[in-house]
Each structure stands twice: as structure tokens, then as C-alpha cells.
Structure 1
Amino acid sequence: MSNGKGYIYAELKVTNPEVFYGEYMEKVTPVLQKWGATFAIAGGEPRVLEGDRVVERVVLVEFESPEKANEFYYSEDYQAVIDYRFRSADTHLYMLNGYSAS
């Protein structure tokens, strides 16, 4: 068991705003709440300081542990709504382990 937090980090390009904001976000928000997730970063226009990338939107979701983040992603709850994101955004998604000094 890890001592640090768990994170899911996404870089998104919303391709169908009606589905993404009207359906996916509406359906995923209660699922995230059920799993105790909190948004550390949601949206914005990231400013790339190094590298040749265009990133339109970033999201960083925090979970109590990496294990909880992994369980969330593969849960029936999230899998029931993930297709709305697939249909409405091009996404790079990452699972990250937080750092804990203890």
C-alpha cells in the first residue's frame, strides 16, 4: 500500500462540447464524488513552457491513494460513463503516484 495520494491526469481536446459538457461531465461528477475524488486542476488553458505541444485542457483528479485511483478507473461506475468521454474528446490519460516523505 502506498503512503502517497493517487492521481489521474488528463490532457484533453474537446471535440464535441455538447456531449462532453452536457453528458459526460454531468454523469462523471457523481461517480467522482462517490469515489472520494477531488479536482486539483480542471480546465484552463495551460501554457507550455518547454517542448512542442499544444494542450487545450488539463484535468488533475486526486484520490486518497494510487490504489483508489486505479480502482476508480476500472470500476463499473466509471466504465459505465467512459464512452461519453471517448465520443467527445481526444485524451491522453495518465495514472500517477503521489509522493509521501513518510
Structure 2
Amino acid sequence: MPAYLVTTITVTKPDQFDEYRKLAGPAVAQYGGKFIVRGGARTILEGKFDGNRLVVVEFPSSESAKTFYNSSEYQAAREKRLGACDFNMVLVEGA
């Protein structure tokens, strides 16, 4: 069953955040992930939306998403991201 990492991001330090992106993208691909949404235009239809950027990554399973998240490759990227943005991530199983 596919699983999705859904992330809201408000970038506060663009140059530092770019260092994260350079490392995170290849790590996503290495662990079988595929970007479904990466920024782009959005329209709020109800409620509030926190974040100026939305990213959705599809993985073959929850286990593969967790393997990606806990990998040394992603953790190295994560270290670059800390302090560069407000970041929220949730793992959701697909239908």
C-alpha cells in the first residue's frame, strides 16, 4: 500500500534551505520515493494553511518511507535544514 510524506514548510533562510534540498531530493529517489507535489500554486478552500510551501512524496509503503526518513542520507540533509525553516511532516497511508 502506498504511503505519503506530507510536509508544510515556511522557509526563513533560503540559502540554507537550498543546501537541504540538494541532499534531500537524491535521498528521496534512492529510497523509492517520488515527488507528487513540490511547491506549486494552491488555493485554500477551507480553514487555515500554515506554510508557504507544500511537499507530498509517495513511497511504496510506510516502511519504505520510514527507512528513508531514518537513513543516514536523509538525516544528513535534515541537519542542513534545521534552523532554515518551520517544518511539519506527517506520514499517511494511502488507500
- Calculate the TM-score normalised by the size of structure 1: 0.84
Offset of residue 72 of structure 1: 0.9
Stretches of structure 2 that go unaligned for 5 or more consecutive residues are none
Offset of residue 45 of structure 1: 3.8
Stretches of structure 1 that go unaligned for 5 or more consecutive residues are none
Give the one of 29, 44, 47 matched to 1:48: 44
Matched residues, number: 95
Give the one of 64, 77, 80 matched to 1:68: 64
2:13 matched to which residue of 1?
16
Name the % identity: 34
Alignment of 1:1-102 (within 5 A): 4-21=1-18, 23-99=19-95
Measured in 2, the distance between the counterparts of 1:55 and 1:79 equals 22
- Calculate the TM-score normalised by the size of structure 2: 0.90
Q: What's the C-alpha RMSD, in Å, of the aligned pairs?
A: 1.3
Larger gyration radius, structure 1 or structure 2: 1
